[in-house]
Amino acid sequence: MESDLLRQQISNMRQSLFVEEILEYQFLQLEQLQDNKNPNFLREIMTLYFRESPKTIAIIDQALMEQSIGANKVTKEINQALECFKGGDIQGCKGAVQRLKQEHNILRNRLESYFQGENTSH
């Protein structure tokens, strides 16, 4: 009886997470990957997510505070991603993040070449 009540409370909490739009269908997909061989799969994935996501958020926050050290195209893509996010355009946000990664790689590669050339000229 007590375990039935506990199961019902847990079920209600879970449903509330979806009603409040804290969770979405991808969470259900992760739940389906959990089985008897790996009963803590979802907990492990979420633990990893909560361990790693603050680092990513901090990097984005720092980049926004510094305006990406003058990296114009990187800043442009960060701003585009934020605009899409604010407008609820998840696909647009994903595209902007992909372009952000590309621009970041271009910036890194070009600056590495620049600094190597600068070092050899001295």
pLDDT in tens, 19-67: 988 888 888 899 899 999 988 898 999 999 888 888 877 777 776 666 5
- Mean local confidence (pLDDT), 104-110: 83
- Say what the pTM is: 0.50
- Long-range (24+ apart) CB contacts under 8 A made by 72-78 are 73/103, 73/106, 73/107, 74/100, 74/103, 74/104, 74/107, 76/103, 77/103
Confidence at residue 64, expressed as pLDDT on a 0 to 100 scale: 62
Q: Residue 87 has which token pair?
A: 């407008």
Q: pLDDT above 90 covers what percent of the chain?
A: 11
Residue 36, CB-side half-sphere exposure with 13 Å CA sphere: 0
Instruction: Please name which of 78, 69, 81 lies closest in space to residue 107, comparing C-alpha atoms.
Output: 69
